[in-house]
Amino acid sequence: MAVKSEHIPKATIARLATYIQVLSEFKREGTDVVSSERLAEACSVNSSQIRKDLAYFGEFGVRGVGYYVQDLITSIKRSLGIDRAWNCALVGVGNLGRALLRHREFSRKGFIIRGAFDCDPYKIGEVVEGMEIVCSRQLPAKVKELSLEIGVITTPPERAQRAANYLVGAGIKGIINFAPARIAVPKHIHLEYVDFFHYFYAAAFHIRFDDNRD
Amino acid sequence: MAVKSEHIPKATIARLATYIQVLSEFKREGTDVVSSERLAEACSVNSSQIRKDLAYFGEFGVRGVGYYVQDLITSIKRSLGIDRAWNCALVGVGNLGRALLRHREFSRKGFIIRGAFDCDPYKIGEVVEGMEIVCSRQLPAKVKELSLEIGVITTPPERAQRAANYLVGAGIKGIINFAPARIAVPKHIHLEYVDFFHYFYAAAFHIRFDDNRD
DNA sequence: GGGATTCTGTTATAAATTTCACAAGTTAGG
DNA sequence: CCTAACTTGTGAAATTTATAACAGAATCCC
Ligand SMILES: NC(=O)c1ccc[n+]([C@@H]2O[C@H](COP(=O)([O-])OP(=O)(O)OC[C@H]3O[C@@H](n4cnc5c(N)ncnc54)[C@H](O)[C@@H]3O)[C@@H](O)[C@H]2O)c1
Ligand SMILES: NC(=O)c1ccc[n+]([C@@H]2O[C@H](COP(=O)([O-])OP(=O)(O)OC[C@H]3O[C@@H](n4cnc5c(N)ncnc54)[C@H](O)[C@@H]3O)[C@@H](O)[C@H]2O)c1
């Protein structure tokens, strides 16, 4: 059992990702032990928050001492389910899809893009970063053959639903959708939307209207 | 005055971005009027949530009728401060930076990348999507000359702080950081972190541990 | 060895956010 | 003109999330 608690807030998951990032940095710097207070400062959160977030999954620290950096990284990774590799399918090999394919960090962090799919006949057969682009129709076969579990959608928005349908039909377990379109999937499929514009809108809003406040 | 209320939840801003996306889709389909109930369903949220989110900014609907799609899009855009163009500086023209530069949607939505900066002498002078890559040292001059307000960091993580320093020194007002590194900026600078791994981690976690729940 | 100090895990408290419930405004139809 | 059917905007209630406070455990130093 990886969790002690029933429901984990979405915000906690997001923060755990940040903790891993910052802890990895501490590790590179040669820091062996860190207190929740010090980690909190580096992550711009409250130290109770960190202890609370971790408490959802177990007891990873030592009272009077703090957290052993390497151990905590390992514990958080196990808690998140990223203590093993995940095979991913990339659907839509355009500008963004190529950037993702070429990004070494994904496989280093355990998310391995093992299949790249597109429907454009001019792209099929092309090799990007050692990976041959295959026709989307081969999704069912490839998902099975390569045990692909996570589908990454980087098609134009009007094609996102179709891509999702292929992925779901092929037996994928979760989808990360980079296209700015809402899609419908059966509720046992986990779905994450990544919309860059959220961040640009938030920046614009705060720059424009925060002047007097804050 | 764009807001009625003092503080707007971060989650509200994110949802408003979704509302715009879905409303634009309705508009394309030729729908003129929409109820909060119908919009809520398309956005997978509660209809009270929508009415509450909008209430932070004003009264945009008509009782007994609903919301006029085009009017609501306009109102939300004004509320978010995206009823005008924002000039952006892209720092780090690698895989991801290029994908962003080539993405037409940014300028269509009012975020215009007017300067592309890199420190690699082999890249300086190269033209990507009609934009000449300039040396990062020219940031102060260009930010002033082109009225750049938002800085987009797509450098490797270990260079993100330096890129941020350049941007802040040059007088930028907000930063969107795509590099997986925490950075420090003066508190009048608005900072958004975009970390793709958040989404991958969340997907992995839910796929692995949600089976019995939900 | 013991007292001071540090720091976690957890309970209690506070704050924020979401959902509910309904008065009030709108339209349509007879 | 009046009733029935809708739908918004909003205060109150419920829920969720974050912060504070502190008992319990470990270390250090004399
Ligand atoms: N490029 C960016 O920086 C960026 C930023 C934010 C969001 N996005 C979003 O990401 C998505 C991809 O953007 P892009 O710039 O890479 O677009 P793109 O047009 O360069 O690439 C889209 C690719 O998807 C393929 N495709 C279309 N339908 C398909 C289908 N049914 N099955 C498989 N492949 C299919 C196309 O052949 C093409 O290769 C878009 O939805 C875009 O809005 C992109
Ligand atoms: N490529 C992806 O799909 C992807 C996905 C998620 C996150 N990221 C993150 O985005 C960032 C960029 O990724 P990438 O794949 O484009 O890397 P990349 O190495 O292809 O590009 C980085 C660019 O930044 C430039 N650079 C380095 N230091 C600079 C400085 N001080 N000033 C200006 N330019 C500088 C480099 O010359 C290079 O052109 C990284 O931090 C990466 O972790 C990338």
- Residue A3 inside a domain? The answer is no
- pTM (global) more than 0.85: yes
What ligand has the least distance to the C-alpha of A179?
A: 1
Which of B151, B13, B52 is closest to A195 using CA atoms?
Answer: B13
* B51 in the same domain as B125: no
Strand D nucleotides with an atom less than 7 Å from a protein beta carbon: 5-11, 16-21, 24-27
Residues 16-35 of A with CB under 8 A from B: 16-18, 21-22, 25
Question: Is residue A35 classed as helix, strand or coil in its secondary structure?
Answer: coil
Q: What confidence score (pLDDT) does residue B6 get?
A: 76
* A103 in the same domain as A74: no
CATH of the domain at A178: 3.40.50.720
pLDDT cut 70: percent of chain A above it? 96
Judged against a pLDDT cut of 70, whether residue B105 lies above it is answered with yes
Length of chain B: 214
Question: Is residue B192 classed as helix, strand or coil in its secondary structure?
Answer: strand
Judged against a pLDDT cut of 80, whether residue B209 lies above it is answered with yes
As for how many domains chain B has, the answer is 2
* B103 in the same domain as B62: no
Judged against a pLDDT cut of 70, whether residue B211 lies above it is answered with no
CATH of the domain at A53: 1.10.10.10
Per-residue model confidence as pLDDT tens digits over A33-84: 999 999 999 999 999 999 999 999 999 999 999 999 999 999 999 999 999 9
* Burial tier of B89 (Cβ tally within 10 Å: 0-12, 13-18, 19+): buried
Our measurement of CA B45 to C1' C26, in angstroms, reads: 25
Residues 125-154 of B with CB under 8 A from A: 149-150
Task: Report residue A40: phi and psi, to 5°.
Answer: -60, -45
Q: What confidence score (pLDDT) does residue A209 get?
A: 86
Strand C nucleotides with an atom less than 7 Å from a protein beta carbon: 5-11, 16-21, 24-27
* A135 in the same domain as A36: no
Nearest CA in chain A to B43: A182
Which of B14, B38, B16, B17 is closest to B26 using CA atoms?
Answer: B38
Q: What confidence score (pLDDT) does residue A6 get?
A: 75
A-chain CB neighbours of B111 within 8 Å are: 200, 204
Q: Which domain holds residue B135?
A: 86-197
